[in-house]
Amino acid sequence: MSDEKFYYPPQHIIDNAHVQDYDALYKHSIENREEFWAAEAEKLEWYKKWDSVFDYSRKPFFEWFSGGQTNIVLNAIDRHLQTWRLNKLAIIWEGEPGDVRTLSYHALNREVCKFANILKGMGVRKGDIVTIYMPQIPELPIAMLACAKIGAAHSVVYGGFSVEALAARIEDARSRVLVTADGGWRRGKVTDLKSIANEAMRRSPTIEVCITVKRTGHDVVMENDRDFWYHDLAALPIASAKCDTEVMNSEDMLFILYTSGTTGKPKGLVHTHGGYSVYTSTTHRYVFDIKDEDRYWCAADPGWITGHSYLVYAPLINGSTIMMYEGAPNHPYPNRWWQMIEKYGITILYTSPTAIRGLMRFGDNWVKRHDLTTLRLLGSVGEPINPEAWRWYHKVVGGERCPIMDTWWQTETGGFMITPLPITPLKPGSATRPFFGNEVKVVDEHGVDVPANEEGKLVITHPSPGMARTILGDPERWATTYWSDFAKQGYYTAGDSARIDEDGYVWVIGRLDDVIKVSGYRLGTAEVESALVSHPTVAEAAAIALPHELKGNAIHCYVLLRNNITGSRELEEQLKEHVAKEIGPIAKPDAVNFVDALPKTRSGKIMRRVLKARAQGLDAGDISTLEE
């Protein structure tokens, strides 16, 4: 084992880390999985302890801590109010225009109670699903926590999504109540969320009540009897700052979060109160080595799983002070993030390779003007980090003092699955080793382990407590998508290809399915294609991902126009705008090519692989199923 290939964490970080011996604890956690997780669960509050730690009698459906009763809010807020953390800052929030709000745990509790009472007053009951469509303002985590507190599930739709994406998610969840805002600030401009929400409500009519938080103050259309301003409701006597936390079973639904897959319809993954609380808080504490004096910044949007698990829930359970920022990293200048790290004394920064590459582009001086010596640990998530970006992050941002936690996980897993600890020797570009309790393998199509350094399918051998339990309304799809490839072995298929090197380090290569990772955001080719064919000029469409220096993936589309319509530069622009309007700006294609035919199999499936190979000037491989 040559030493040069590793980056070693500084000694003082190793000395102070929660976990001192990865190998020993890992071995224990695999050999005594239930014992390991029960010991972690003991660190949280329960209204009633569980009867069984793990129940796998209905494979591939599983339960953790069944018979137990808790509520994530009991751990994220209530228990802190009994301690000195009552007056500790829970949230430091900065708006893009520079306005600042801070909330102690005491203040956060009051806001959550008020919001919870308003939701109740609007008829929200235990088990309902409330859709939340908001910019990054404190009311977003407040609304999430308020739902959880009263036993309603939330479905947060990322504020960067647009009409069709929002409408489809409202409809799938059959939400009666929508929480939104007039807009938010992004690059000096107002994002008009309320107009998008209005259009989505027109398309999917299940919403009876829409609560709107005033953020930007621009004119918006409010409909009588359906639309209410949050501040009007908050002034009513129902909005008291006291509210009991609902007693939930471990396996009761906490939230659903939609993610893209191979078909057009997004999957609403169901996460639960008990196992998710245990898993996210444990991973967060050990991986980011959380101490009470930390100021922790997860720069993801709460609208994604990273925001749910590691901006909102895990840090609050661990009693951390979280930083939250509304806007763009380069507004008004590319030093905005570095300025805030210096100003607030941030100790841990968790972000994505895309954000790092984007900021790296502006050069070192924007960073070097700021004193970032409070930083102790860095994190990365969303896509493989290229070694060049890793080194820049390590050297320029972290001043060579801060180990980088490259965390591999998914919306489905709820929390980190493969990740370093602060004590782990690092290799740039590798997420290193599995977290406790997880066995990870790289296998061939028969489920047999491939030799070291060979590429194969990434699988997880056993359900972990933080994993989703099912897909809303479609348990069959949960079983077939994730648990059927290697049903005999009982493996979970992640949908990624990877290799494991001679040191047992995992290198994730990328998606095997039709998922595109644009700037770390997950989109399905089918979603882009269905947006394209919803345009009156388009007959058929195919979307593929091509490598992109900054965004990881770029979206390239191939479009077959309807009879008598010819392609043009203007139409190309129109189609790009159309996709951005239907799904959201992140889905805007980089290129739209007009073609006379699409490569298809004899059964009519588009062979995206062929398009991709051709676009890259590569050999398309086996095309025996191609219809001529």
Q: 94 - beta bridge partners?
A: 100, 325
456 binds ligand WT7 (CB under 6 A): no
Q: Which stretch binds ligand WT7 (CB under 6 A): 25-33, 311-319, 378-386, 444-452?
A: 378-386
CA 577 to chain centre: 25
User: How far is Cα 165 from Cα 170, in angstroms, rounded to an integer?
Assistant: 9
What mask of x and - would describe binding to ligand WT7 in positions 128 to 147, judged by CB under 6 A? Answer: --------------------
Q: Which stretch binds ligand WT7 (CB under 6 A): 124-132, 207-215, 331-339, 382-390?
A: 382-390
Q: CB-side exposure of 546: number of CA atoms within 13 Å? A: 19
Question: DSSP secondary-structure letter at 404?
Answer: E
Pairing of strands 89-94, 209-213: unpaired
User: How far is Cα 573 from Cα 490, in angstroms, rounded to an integer?
Assistant: 47
Q: Which stretch binds ligand WT7 (CB under 6 A): 16-24, 235-243, 388-396, 402-410?
A: 402-410
CA nearest neighbour of 78 among 119, 49, 45: 45
- Least distance between ligand WT7 and beta carbon 257 (Å): 9
CA angle 232, 241, 257 (to 5 degrees): 80
- Least distance between ligand WT7 and beta carbon 75 (Å): 22
Q: Which of residues 473-502 bind ligand WT7 (CB under 6 A)?
A: 494-496
Q: Which of 162, 411, 470, 525 binds ligand WT7 (CB under 6 A)?
A: 411
Q: Which of 383, 485, 527, 582 binds ligand WT7 (CB under 6 A)?
A: 383
Of residues 98 and 387, the one with the C-beta less far from ligand WT7 = 387
Residue 483, number of CB atoms within 10 A of its CB? 17
Q: Which of 85, 522, 535, 608 binds ligand WT7 (CB under 6 A)?
A: 522
Q: Which stretch binds ligand WT7 (CB under 6 A): 59-67, 154-162, 408-416, 609-617?
A: 408-416
Structure tokens at 465: 């407590």
- Least distance between ligand WT7 and beta carbon 109 (Å): 28
94 binds ligand WT7 (CB under 6 A): no
Of residues 418 and 592, the one with the C-beta less far from ligand WT7 = 418
CA nearest neighbour of 281 among 257, 308, 309, 253: 309
261 binds ligand WT7 (CB under 6 A): no
Task: Please give the single-letter amino acid code of residue 602.
Answer: R
- Least distance between ligand WT7 and beta carbon 259 (Å): 5
- Least distance between ligand WT7 and beta carbon 508 (Å): 4
608 binds ligand WT7 (CB under 6 A): no
414 binds ligand WT7 (CB under 6 A): no
Residue 514, number of CB atoms within 10 A of its CB? 23
Do residues 590 and 556 make contact, with C-beta atoms less than 8 angstroms apart? yes
Do residues 395 and 366 make contact, with C-beta atoms less than 8 angstroms apart? no
Q: Which of residues 280-319 bind ligand WT7 (CB under 6 A)?
A: 305-306
DSSP letters along 419-430, please? Answer: ---TTS-B-TT-
379 binds ligand WT7 (CB under 6 A): no
- Least distance between ligand WT7 and beta carbon 101 (Å): 26
Q: 499 - beta bridge partners?
A: 507
How far, in Å, are 22, 497, 605 from residue 513 at the CA level? 33, 10, 14
Q: Which of 133, 185, 393, 409 binds ligand WT7 (CB under 6 A)?
A: 409
Q: Which of 71, 175, 407, 432 binds ligand WT7 (CB under 6 A)?
A: 407
Pairing of strands 267-272, 470-471: antiparallel
User: How far is Cα 457 from Cα 508, in angstroms, rounded to an integer?
Assistant: 10
- Least distance between ligand WT7 and beta carbon 313 (Å): 14
527 binds ligand WT7 (CB under 6 A): no
381 binds ligand WT7 (CB under 6 A): yes
382 binds ligand WT7 (CB under 6 A): yes
- Least distance between ligand WT7 and beta carbon 310 (Å): 9
431 binds ligand WT7 (CB under 6 A): yes
- Least distance between ligand WT7 and beta carbon 349 (Å): 15
Q: 506 - beta bridge partners?
A: 432, 500
User: Of all helices (H) and strands (E), which one includes residue 498?
Assistant: strand 492-500
Of residues 462 and 511, the one with the C-beta less far from ligand WT7 = 511
- Least distance between ligand WT7 and beta carbon 524 (Å): 11
Structure tokens at 232: 């009007």
User: Of all helices (H) and strands (E), which one includes residue 29?
Assistant: helix 22-31
Rounded to the nearest 10 degrees, the angle between the axes of helix 33-41 and helix 273-287 is 90
CA nearest neighbour of 169 among 192, 196, 139: 196
User: Of all helices (H) and strands (E), which one includes residue 56?
Assistant: strand 52-58
Residue 602 burial class via C-beta count within 10 angstroms: exposed 0-12, middle 13-18, buried 19 and up: exposed
Q: Which of 408, 478, 505, 558 binds ligand WT7 (CB under 6 A)?
A: 408
508 binds ligand WT7 (CB under 6 A): yes
Q: Which stretch binds ligand WT7 (CB under 6 A): 30-38, 170-178, 377-385, 573-581?
A: 377-385
User: How far is Cα 83 from Cα 496, in angstroms, rounded to an integer?
Assistant: 43
User: Which residues contribute to the site for ligand WT7 (CB under 6 A)?
Assistant: 259, 305-306, 381-384, 406-411, 431, 494-496, 508, 511, 517, 522
